C-alpha cells in the first residue's frame, strides 16, 4: 500500500499585527495530518479515480476547456513535464527568490497545473480540462523561506493582482491562511470586478480546530471543499458557512517534490480547488459569451446534491454541492441567469456596466446561511443522490458510477490563528 503524504506547506506573510496575535507567529504554517515517507506511484493516471466518476469521455466530446486560460498562483509551474508541454504560457515570479515562475521548488504548483490542464502524455497526470492553458504566478512558500531566508511577503496579493490584469479568465489559489490580508482582499475584488472567477482551497483543518482559511473565507472567492474516493466528505476538509462548492481532494496523485521525478498520493483541498477551476474552464469554453457570473451560477445549479435538498439551502460541508461538469455539458442542467450579478454574493459585479451599482460589501460579510441537517449532496460525476448529515446524523448511501458509497460529514468549531499554508 502506498503511504499517503499529507502536507500543508507554509507561506510567508507580511508582519502586520493582529489583535491578540503576535506578528512573529505569522511566519510558517504547519503540517495537517500525519506525513508518511513518500513512495512512488508507478501509474498516476490509474489513481485519478474521479475522472471515470465524472464521465470525462462524454464531457470531452462537448468541451475540453479550449480557449480558456487559468492563472495558477502557486510555488511555480514547470512547463517541461510530459503532461504540460505546450500548455503553459509566460507568467511572472513574485517570490523574491532566485529563479522564475517556471522553477517549482516543491512540485505543488506543477501538480495543480496538471490536474487542471495536463494532457496525460508520457504517463503524466490527465487534466480535467486538457484544452485549457495555464499562466503561472510564483509566490514564496515555506520551502522558499527555508532555502533562501528572505522572501517577498507581499507576493500573494501581487500575484492575484497581476493575474487579474492578464488574459486568464480563472484564477486558482490552492493555498490559505488564517491571516487576514487587506491587500489580498482588494486584489481579489479587483479580479472579480474584471469578470474573473477566483477559486480558493477551503483548507485542511477540520480535525485541527476547523480554522477559517483565507482567501477562501473571503466572500468574493469561490471556496472549495474536498471529497474522497470512498464517496465521503474528506475528514480533513475545513467547513463553514463560507463553503461554496466541493470537488475531489483526497487520495490524489501529484508530484512528490520539486525534483519532479516521481508522483505520490496527496490529500488536500488544493486539488479540489484545481478541479473546480477546471470545471469552470470546461463550462466557459462551451459558452465563451457567458460572464463569470453565469459560469459560476451553472456550476452551483448543476452541482451534485440530493433529492431532498431544500431549495436555496447551502451546506457548510459542500456548499451548493459537488462539481459535476457532465451534468451541464451532457444534460444541460443549470441556467446562466443574470450576467451581471454574482450568484455567490448577490452583488452586481464582473458583468456589464450598470447605471447603479450597489456598494461592495466588506470581506468579512457573511455568506448565505448553511443548509439544514437534511441536506443531501452527491459526489462528483454522480447521476444519483447522496444522503448526507450534518454533525450528529447517521450516514446513508448513494450511487456514483454504479458504486455504492457513504457520506460522512464532520462537525467542528472554528478558531482564528495567524498562519499561512498550502492546502495540500
- Residue ranges per domain, the chain? 4-355+373-422
Is the pLDDT confidence value at 201 over 80? yes
Annotation marks residue 270 as catalytic = yes
pLDDT digits (tens, 9 = 90+) for 26-39: 222 222 222 334 45
pLDDT (average), residues 382-388: 31
Is the pLDDT confidence value at 208 over 90? yes
Annotation marks residue 287 as catalytic = no
**Residue that is written with C-alpha cell 480535467 in the block:** 128
Q: How confident is the model at residue 271 (pLDDT cuts 50, 70, 90)?
A: very high
Residue 309 C-alpha from the chain's centroid: 23
pLDDT (average), residues 111-125: 98
Catalytic entry in 95, 166, 270, 302: 270
Residues in the chain, total: 424
249 versus 404: which is more confidently predicted? 249
Q: Are 227 and 378 in contact (CB under 8 A)?
A: no
Catalytic entry in 55, 104, 106, 108: 108
Say whether domain 4-355+373-422 belongs to CATH 3.40.50.200.
yes
Annotation marks residue 320 as catalytic = no
Q: How confident is the model at residue 247 (pLDDT cuts 50, 70, 90)?
A: very high
144 versus 164: which is more confidently predicted? 164
pLDDT at 105: 86
Judge residue 269's burial from the number of C-beta atoms within 10 Å of its C-beta, 0-12 exposed, 13-18 middle, 19 or more buried: buried
pLDDT (average), residues 361-387: 33
Q: Are 423 and 31 in contact (CB under 8 A)?
A: no
Catalytic entry in 74, 141, 340, 375: 74
Summary mean pLDDT of the chain = 78
pLDDT at 231: 67
At 345, is the secondary structure helix, strand, or coil?
coil
Q: How far is CA 335 from CA 60, 218, 290, 314, 332, in A?
A: 21, 25, 11, 18, 8
Amino acid at each position: 500500500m502506498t503511504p499517503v503524504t499529507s502536507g500543508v506547506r507554509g507561506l510567508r506573510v507580511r508582519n502586520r499585527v493582529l489583535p491578540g496575535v503576535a506578528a512573529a507567529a505569522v511566519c510558517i504554517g504547519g503540517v495537517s495530518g500525519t506525513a508518511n515517507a513518500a513512495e512512488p506511484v508507478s501509474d498516476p493516471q490509474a489513481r485519478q479515480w474521479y475522472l471515470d466518476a465524472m464521465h470525462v469521455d462524454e464531457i470531452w466530446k462537448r468541451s475540453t476547456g479550449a480557449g480558456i486560460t487559468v492563472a495558477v498562483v502557486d510555488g511555480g509551474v514547470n512547463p517541461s513535464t510530459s503532461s504540460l508541454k505546450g500548455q503553459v504560457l509566460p507568467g511572472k515570479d513574485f517570490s523574491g527568490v532566485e529563479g522564475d515562475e517556471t522553477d517549482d521548488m516543491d512540485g505543488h504548483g506543477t501538480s495543480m497545473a496538471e490536474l487542471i490542464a495536463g494532457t496525460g502524455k508520457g504517463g503524466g497526470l490527465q487534466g480535467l480540462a486538457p484544452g485549457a492553458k495555464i499562466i503561472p504566478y510564483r509566490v514564496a512558500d515555506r520551502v522558499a523561506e527555508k532555502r533562501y531566508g528572505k522572501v517577498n511577503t507581499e507576493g500573494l496579493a501581487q500575484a492575484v493582482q497581476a493575474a487579474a490584469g492578464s488574459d486568464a479568465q480563472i484564477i486558482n489559489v490552492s493555498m490559505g491562511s488564517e491571516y487576514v490580508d487587506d491587500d489580498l482582499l482588494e486584489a481579489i475584488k479587483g479580479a472579480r470586478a474584471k469578470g474573473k472567477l477566483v477559486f480558493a482551497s477551503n483548507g485542511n483543518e477540520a480535525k485541527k480546530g476547523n480554522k477559517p482559511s483565507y482567501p477562501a473565507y473571503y466572500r468574493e472567492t469561490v471556496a472549495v471543499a474536498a471529497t474522497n474516493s470512498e464517496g465521503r466528505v474528506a475528514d480533513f476538509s475545513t467547513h463553514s458557512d463560507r463553503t461554496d462548492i466541493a470537488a475531489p481532494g483526497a487520495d490524489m496523485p501529484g508530484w512528490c517534490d520539486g525534483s519532479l521525478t516521481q508522483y505520490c498520493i496527496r490529500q488536500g483541498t488544493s486539488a479540489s480547488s484545481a478541479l473546480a477551476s477546471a470545471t469552470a474552464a470546461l463550462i466557459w469554453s462551451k459558452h465563451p459569451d457567458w460572464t463569470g457570473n453565469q459560469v459560476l451560477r451553472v456550476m452551483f445549479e448543476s452541482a451534485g446534491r440530493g433529492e431532498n435538498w431544500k431549495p436555496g439551502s447551502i451546506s457548510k460541508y459542500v456548499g451548493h454541492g459537488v462539481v459535476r461538469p457532465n451534468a451541464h455539458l451532457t444534460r444541460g442542467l443549470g441556467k446562466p441567469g443574470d450576467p451581471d450579478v454574482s450568484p455567490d454574493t448577490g452583488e452586481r459585479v464582473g458583468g456589464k456596466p450598470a447605471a447603479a451599482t450597489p456598494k461592495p460589501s466588506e470581506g468579512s460579510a457573511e455568506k448565505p446561511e448553511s443548509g439544514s441537517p437534511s441536506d443531501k449532496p452527491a459526489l462528483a460525476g454522480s447521476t444519483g443522490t447522496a444522503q448526507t448529515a450534518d454533525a450528529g446524523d447517521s450516514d446513508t448511501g448513494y450511487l456514483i458510477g454504479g458504486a455504492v458509497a457513504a457520506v460522512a460529514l464532520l462537525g467542528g468549531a472554528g478558531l482564528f490563528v495567524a498562519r499561512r499554508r498550502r492546502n495540500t
